[in-house]
A and B are shown apart, each in its own frame.
Chain A
């Protein structure tokens, strides 16, 4: 559970070394002359690079050797590339294994991650200097930054760095072009693994909101909910913990004939408040049925069930949703834009927990922007608000020392088991009724014969 994905050079933990050794075994097996991979010469522009292989070949070899599926082979290949054992020739910066004809090569054992050769600042500086000298403007943004940083930091050895870079470039010019390209690629791959583009860039570039705007939000929220906070303002009829009277809870139970005024007011604070209250959701559903857009809420509910339901029933639920809401000509077809619909339909082929997320988001925001504001202005909501009761504050008893009796309430577990029992009984009754009616029909048919 604690496999670190950071490549820390100093003190490489035991778990990582075991991974590397296994990866090296795979690589060595791949290079085996009899059972290994088929190598070819790859053309890179004009030069021919020997001992290269295509992504497609790698995957086929992995599937054959380890008897695994294509997806797993792709995943394993990707990891081999990410840890630098195989490097791509065409797009060296994107460390991904592609299933097509893009060429890859094995990294020389000298540069393997497991050798724990400390990738020092000095070596990195020499590498960057070489790149700079070779071609101006070949350094990337983050490499330029690092170059200037290193220049500041190891300024005292800078002459040594430049001298080494020039020496190495001169030595490499004496090699054949193919060898030179190979060595360059190997070195580049090594440094891409050991000095990756830092992800702190992401944190630095994040969109932040001004403090004044955010903090106003807290004030508004506190003000809005102040009357609803029992500890601050007290609650009507009384706080059950203080007065020992559970009337407050019975009045605010999930299903009541008439809700309290505070509860109905809360539905107007945000769409989420309306949907999280059972009664609110029912009222909203009634409203949508009048507007003939109830399928939106049903779709949203069904998607919620997938997101939070059992793992084993996901595909079953996804199929049902498709049949009822997404299939062309479905009974309750929901209106989603074509891009999201296409993406969802593609995802349905391999159903997983979050496959409906985009569509659900779309419908949620549709309801929030369109139906919800209209509901708040509708007669249905206004009547509800007018009907809602404001409970009377319970009078304090004459003798304040006499304690009211505290009544217990049915356990939710009991309510749940009763519900399932009733369901079971209803199902049974339904089945019996079906059998009886079938028998009657058979008798009727027999009589006519």
Chain B
């Protein structure tokens, strides 16, 4: 008989694996999980939360810079992209990081349309990741509330 805990654990496992396989997360996210323990049980959630705040702030900076029609400071946009690339790399946000690479190229070549496109994509992407990780954390909570342990998932 499949208990609620077992079902939730299987869901959690499958969802985690899919996030990696679809390229949303990479092994740096796994590294972050290693830093979580009983003393810091919410470490990953806290770090990704800071990351998403960072995303919002930096994307805002980029949007403002790109909004200066006729007077866009591409180095300013580029510097925000560089920062976003760094923090996305540090948390394992693989797709966001990948978009930042393309975005940086557009900044370097002062490609305005390219930058605008990248900005839109990066905005969509971080929000999508945010929703997915929220779902993942919710699953964790449900497992714990049902009296189970969060399984270790080997990718």
A-B interaction: no
Which residues from chain A sit less than 8 Å from chain B, CB to CB? none
Which residues from chain B sit less than 8 Å from chain A, CB to CB? none
